[in-house]
Amino acid sequence: MSLARTLEPEVMDTVEEAVDYDSMNHTTVNRAFVQDLLRYVAETGSVRVVLGDTEDVSPARQGTETSLDAEASLGGTVIDVGAGTALIPLELVRMVPYVGPIIAVDLSVEMLRLAVRHIRNEKLRSRILALLTDAKYLPFVDGSCDVVMSNSIVHHIPRPVDVFCELRRIIKPGGILFLRDLMRPVSENVVEQLVGQYAGGDNVHQQQLFRQSLHAALSVDEVRDLLDATGFETARVCATSDRHWTVTARMPGL
Ligand SMILES: C[S@@+](CC[C@H](N)C(=O)[O-])C[C@H]1O[C@@H](n2cnc3c(N)ncnc32)[C@H](O)[C@@H]1O
């Protein structure tokens, strides 16, 4: 029998949670998120991206990773929903010379406190804005956002359909959705194996955060049902690693 979903607290609003989350090593996962986002946006024609194996790129930048030409840009408003300490917006700004503004939305004061500190330290206050708000009631008008991205928030939401409806509402016709989260493992054994493999070097509280998140995550089939229920006709969901699913969509209308 498959593992049932067990909810975890929605908002990560203690100092300990925020500090422990922020100090875990998210670099590989975040870099992959930004590269996959850019690859998807490039495929849909919204940003000029030069892939690492083309002739246009200097030898130093060649390789399997996505690299960007010097003029690369990602126009319009970019929203990061459940941005936490803004590590993904920071990674995006480092990779794309012209992007934004990026609005980093979260409902946790403590996560945003650290986000603002990072943004200030990197002198990016004019490019990344931190906004304390609920992903279930986003303060953006219908069809106003060009790119909506989100990593690892859906498993926090008791009724994810509420967030999916909001994302659907705020994206512009022709706009992009790029949504990634953990995928609930099929058994307790697989949970423990993933915790050992990806959080083995972390402290006990950090391991517990990861374990709870895996238990609270959705399966690919559950996400597919949500996309159907919320009218994301053009969206696709698939497993993109041993512990993640990813939704991509370009909204119809352009
Ligand atoms: C696991 S963290 C991911 C943070 C960030 N996206 C990243 O990848 O590093 C999940 C974040 O979602 C936030 N969150 C949970 N429920 C939320 C809601 N209803 N509205 C906005 N943010 C929420 C939490 O406070 C937390 O910062």
69 pocket-lining for ligand 1 (C-beta < 6 Å): no
* pLDDT for residue 63: 42
Nearest-atom number in ligand 1 for the CA of 163 is 19
User: What three-state secondary structure class fits 146?
Assistant: strand
Cβ atoms of 78 and 101 within 8 Å: the answer is yes
Domains annotated for the chain, with CATH where assigned, are 26-185+218-250 (3.40.50.150)
Q: What is the DSSP letter of 187?
A: S
* pLDDT for residue 13: 86
Confidence grade of residue 52 (pLDDT, cut at 50, 70, 90): very low
User: What three-state secondary structure class fits 248?
Assistant: strand
What separation in Å is there between the alpha carbon of 82 and the centre of ligand 1? 3
- Ligand 1 pocket test, candidate residues 15, 106, 113, 208, most atoms within 8 A of CB: 106
Q: What is the pLDDT of residues 161-172, one digit of tens each?
A: 999 999 999 999
What separation in Å is there between the alpha carbon of 101 and the centre of ligand 1? 19
* pLDDT for residue 49: 60
113 pocket-lining for ligand 1 (C-beta < 6 Å): no
Confidence grade of residue 10 (pLDDT, cut at 50, 70, 90): confident
Give yes or no for residue 189 having a pLDDT over 70: yes
Q: Which residues contact 171 (CB under 8 A, 6 or more apart)?
A: 143, 145, 148, 177, 251
Per-residue tokens: 71: 């003029």
* pLDDT for residue 76: 83
**85 CA to centre of own chain:** 12
What separation in Å is there between the alpha carbon of 59 and the centre of ligand 1? 38
* pLDDT for residue 140: 96
160 pocket-lining for ligand 1 (C-beta < 6 Å): no
What separation in Å is there between the alpha carbon of 30 and the centre of ligand 1? 14
Mean pLDDT, range 91-98, rounded to an integer: 86
Percent residues over pLDDT 70 in the chain: 88
Confidence grade of residue 84 (pLDDT, cut at 50, 70, 90): very high
Residue having the nearest C-alpha atom to atom 26 of ligand 1: 84
Residue closest to 239 by CA, chosen among 189, 194, 181, 193: 181
Give yes or no for residue 157 having a pLDDT over 80: yes
Of 40-54, 62-76, 131-145, 190-204, the range with the lowest mean pLDDT is 62-76
Nearest-atom number in ligand 1 for the CA of 134 is 20
Give yes or no for residue 62 having a pLDDT over 70: no
Confidence grade of residue 56 (pLDDT, cut at 50, 70, 90): very low
* pLDDT for residue 59: 35
* pLDDT for residue 245: 98
* pLDDT for residue 66: 58
Per-residue tokens: 223: 């996400």
* pLDDT for residue 101: 87
